Amino acid sequence: MQPFPWDDAIGFGIGVLKLSSAEFWSLTPRELALAMQAVNPRGAVLTRADLTQLMTRHPDGRPVQS
């Protein structure tokens, strides 16, 4: 079992959600987990095909390689 990632959780709550210290520490673990999941959904992985499509639609001047 891995230890709880406190640095990531605190950084997310205070840095991303902009919560005060009191607001952060008043969250339940479930509330924090749901907030983190809303920002970074599980399974939302960018495939190579998705990346190629995005690069084709929004080129930055470099040729797209498949």
- Give per-residue pLDDT as tens, 11-63: 999 998 999 999 999 999 889 888 888 887 776 667 788 788 888 888 877 66
Token pair for 58 = 């929004």
Q: Provide the pLDDT for residue 41.
A: 72
Range(s) of the domain holding residue 36 = 6-57
Residue 29 located in a structural domain: yes
Residue 66 predicted with pLDDT over 70: no
Q: Provide the pLDDT for residue 63.
A: 62
Query: What span, in angstroms and rounded, lies between the C-alpha atoms of 35 and 27?
Result: 10
Residue 62 located in a structural domain: no
Question: How many distinct structural domains can be found in the chain?
Answer: 1
Residue 41 located in a structural domain: yes
Residue 40 located in a structural domain: yes
- Give whole-number Cα distances, 61 to 3, 10, 31, in Å: 44, 38, 42
